[in-house]
Amino acid sequence: MRPLRRLCCGLRRRAGCQRGNPRDSWRQKLLTPIPFMRLILLLSLVLLSSSDTSAQPSSWMEPFPAHTIAGNLHYVGSKDLASYLVTTPEGHILINSSFEDSVPLIRQSVEDLGFKFGDIKILLISHAHSDHCAGSARIIRETGAKYFVMEQDADSVEKGGATKLRLKASYTQFTPARVDRRLKDGDEVTLGGTTLVARLTPGHTPGCTTWTLKAGGLNAVIIGSPNVNPGYILVNNQGYPGIAQDYERCFRVLKSLPVDLFLGAHGGYYDLTDKHRRLLVAGVSNPFVDPEGYKRYVEDRETAFLTELARQQKLKAAGQPNR
């Protein structure tokens, strides 16, 4: 630390900072040597914030053509991080803010469709992971939108992702945002004659939300997430004791929903890229109408959950650590 101290002191002298000179006090503070542990903390925070998107799949930040799915329901997300715009005469509803760095991409997509970003009145999310809600504080600041979140995820959103779940930090830490309305299962969100219904499909997070609405006369379902992420503890999870039971509830709800338009929090859930390509072909029926694809996806994800649950239960019975 001595060389660093000498360097900082030398810089301070070269800048002309003198004790007792109030005009130079800000430069003195800036160039004063930082205690070692404080320096480490600052560097850690910088690295954490910079890792928000850099370690994620490239498709998460890759622009994707904005398009109308059906009626007043539009896609304004990236190639894989799905954001949806529900337009009404009284303003718009946005589902999923993605990362903070995603916000300019979302804004551009909204404008490409001929709508104003500032007309977003309500912001919703699928669940409290940074890839779906880290941009919320910025969107609220830029649009003045009200923020509605399922109550089981609301505290995590307001604390910037604080959670006891076994997740990578880059997935869970983000800028906090104040929640204006805490939703319960079955609550309705209505604006300009369009109503969305919040369905609690927990497990992926305690407040994971699947959104349903009518779009162009069709039943649209936007799945929150039925996936078991790497590192999730399904057996004896001290931070989330009822996680396995919540996943079971998630699949019961998903299998009970009437579906025409199959959508989700990630484009990969419903083959966004392929379906968008088919959407551009003249004379082809709407490819997002895919109830059978929805059924197959839910069944596949339920099988994956049950397989992982059985694996962890077997390890527990054998007295082996979960890994």
The CATH number for 261's domain is 3.60.15.10
- For residue 106, the model assigns a pLDDT of 98
Contact 127, 225 (CB under 8 A): yes
Residue 31 has pLDDT above 50, yes or no: no
Is residue 1 domain-resident? no
Angle at 81 between CA 78 and CA 87, to 5 degrees: 75
- Domain coverage including residue 244: 58-317
Neighbours of 183 (CB within 10 A): 22
Question: Total structural domains in the chain?
Answer: 1
Look at residue 21 and tell me if it is in a domain. Answer: no
**Looking at residues 162-172, what average pLDDT do you find?**
56
Residue 17 lies in a domain: no
Asked if the structure places residue 50 within a domain, the reply is no
CB-hemisphere CA count at 13 Å for 93?
A: 20
Six-digit token string for 92: 């718009």
Residue 257 has pLDDT above 90, yes or no: yes
Mean pLDDT across 85-98: 98
Specify the higher pLDDT residue, 252 or 163: 252
Q: Which residues pair with 149 in a beta bridge?
A: 182
Query: Among 58-62, 196-200, 258-262, where is mean pLDDT lowest?
Result: 58-62
Closest CA to 294 of 227, 228, 220: 220
Helix (H, G, I), strand (E, B) or coil at 24: helix
Position 16 in a domain: no
Of 24-33, 165-174, 287-296, which range is least confident?
24-33
In this structure, is residue 46 part of a structural domain? no
Domain assignment of residue 31, yes or no: no
Does the residue 13 lie in any domain?
no
Q: Which residue has the higher pLDDT, 152 or 40?
A: 152
- The answer on pLDDT for 115 being more than 60 is yes
Q: Is-contact 33 4, C-beta < 8 A?
A: yes
Distance CA 52, CA 101 (A): 9
Percent of the chain at pLDDT exceeding 90: 72
Token pair, residue 260, equals 């025409």
Residues 249, 233, 166, 131, Cα dihedral to 10°: -40
pLDDT class of 262 with cuts at 50, 70, 90 = very high
Mean pLDDT of the chain: 85
Phi, psi of 144, rounded to the nearest 5 degrees: 75, 15
> CA triplet 116, 74, 140: central angle to 5 degrees?
45
- Which DSSP helix (H) or strand (E) runs through 133? helix 130-133
Taking residues 117-123, report their average pLDDT.
99
Distance CA(79)–CA(260), nearest Å, equals 22
